[in-house]
Amino acid sequence: MDVTIPRYIRCNNQILNVSPAKVMGILNLTPDSFYSESRVKNEKKLLEKAEKMLADGADFLDLGGYSSRPGADFVSEEEERKRILPAIELLNKHFPLAKISVDTFRAKIAREAIEAGACMINDISGGQADERMFDTVAELQVPYILMHMRGTPQTMQQLTDYHPDPITEINRFFSQKIKKLHDKHVNDIIIDPGFGFAKTLEQNYFILKNLDRFLIHDKILLVGISRKSMLYKLLRITQDQALNATTVAHTIGLLKGASILRVHDVKEAKEVVKIVDFMNQSG
């Protein structure tokens, strides 16, 4: 496939090269995220997890205050704000060089998070949950992760019919959303096919197999597949036992063109990146 993958994004007034691929560590400020080890229960735990991730080589820290697992409880805007904003301020105080992404689909929360010190917006709804999001991103001029999803975390698993196939329909979604963002002069766009979001087990693997078909958009491609049910359900194991499966999936993702891995286990993901990058550069 003859495409040019963008190599640079701006974050905290820095130009970051995403070749070799970068790793985004997940920090869940929620009591009900699907993988219990990713949950941060207090300030001490947040600082400990962030410090370890940064020491292990995390290029970004992704903070979320609203669990997006299937069937997750609704979280009010005020509760999400109480979870996210103090955490960003705390991380900025202790790790001023850290690049923080805010995982939210609410434009107001996104704006306040950027003002508090985050440098990137990760929107699981791709602008569908809040019509103000694209205008907010355009005004803030920060990198925007555009993820594909249907419905809400409460309804998405009933919305898995794709015609003629998931790749074609998701690419149509990306094309429409990217055009709207470009029309608003937003160019730092990262796309994420949304593994597990309104997709069946079989559809998730079809997407992974054909991941390179998303490169037609000439955008940085993010893969969020760490310890997800498509791995542990297939293997009939638990989330706690899914690190090896995650490493396999990350390897496939990088070989298929992913430039950012969103992960629970930073050290292992960085090792995958190093191996794949060295192989790609070998004679």
What are the residue numbers of the active site? 228, 262
Return the closest-CA partner of residue 3 out of 252, 197, 171, 225. Answer: 171
Question: CA 124 to CA 254: how far, in whole Å?
Answer: 21
Question: CA 24 to CA 118: how far, in whole Å?
Answer: 13
Question: CA 160 to CA 198: how far, in whole Å?
Answer: 5
What b/e sequence results for 166-190 when a residue is b if at least 16 CB atoms lie within 10 Å of its CB, and e otherwise? bbeebbebbeebbeebeeeebebbb
Question: CA 147 to CA 173: how far, in whole Å?
Answer: 10
Backbone angles phi, psi at 23, to 5 degrees: -120, 130
Question: CA 168 to CA 171: how far, in whole Å?
Answer: 5
Would you say 105 and 130 are in contact if contact means Cβ atoms under 8 Å apart?
Answer: yes
Return the closest-CA partner of residue 226 out of 202, 244, 213. Answer: 244
Question: CA 183 to CA 177: how far, in whole Å?
Answer: 10
Can you list the positions of beta strands (E) in 12-136? 14-17, 22-28, 60-64, 100-103, 120-123
